[in-house]
Amino acid sequence: MDKDARMEENVSLRNNGELGRAASDMHLDLLRPSARNNTISKAGQANAVGNGRGKYSLIRDPEDFQVGIYDIPLPCFGCGVGWFSFLFGFLCPPMWYYATFLYFGNYYRKDPRERAGLGASAIAALLCSVALLIIASVLLLRSRSLQL
């Protein structure tokens, strides 16, 4: 009898129960509002179809709007500190060094969208340093050859 009870329990779990949850369902607060609503509506739709209902039901109040992490615009005209420093660095190259300092200081941990721009500024600072080193060495060798 005990074996039949286990068998019956397994059958009921397979047909009705939810054995696991998706990762997006567990961390709804980290998703953008549009993705959050899409995930919730898909889950509600699956339940509605399974129960024989084919209509959507209101899950959250429309006034209960939570802002996601990446819904806030980036600083510096929306392009972020890194890309702003990269572009402004062509007029004022020390901005590349400032962004490099931020990059190596892990500033992008506050907002991962900043990482690409800060990395581009670090590469621009490296190329600028190499160009300045080559120009300085050529000028130094040229001034020594003129003295001889």
- 115-147 vs 80-88: helix axis angle to the nearest 10? 30
The reported pLDDT for the residue numbered 17 is: 47
Distance CA 142, CA 138 (A): 6
Residue 99 CA to residue 126 CA, distance in Å, equals 12
pLDDT tens, position by position, for the chain (148 residues)?
555 554 444 444 455 544 555 555 556 666 666 655 555 555 555 544 455 556 766 676 666 666 677 778 888 888 888 899 999 999 999 999 999 999 999 888 888 888 999 999 999 999 999 999 999 999 999 988 887 7
Its sign, for the CA torsion 61, 66, 67, 68, is: negative
Pairwise CA distance, residues 83 & 73, whole Å = 14
Give the C-alpha separation, 114 to 119, whole Å. 9
Instruction: Measure the CA–CA gap between 109 and 106, rounded to whole angstroms.
Output: 6
Q: What is the pLDDT of residue 98?
A: 93
Confidence (pLDDT) at 48: 47
**Spatial separation of the C-alpha atoms in residues 64 and 68, rounded to whole Å:** 13
User: Structural domain boundaries of the chain?
Assistant: 2-69, 73-147
- Cα–Cα dist 96/125, whole Å: 5
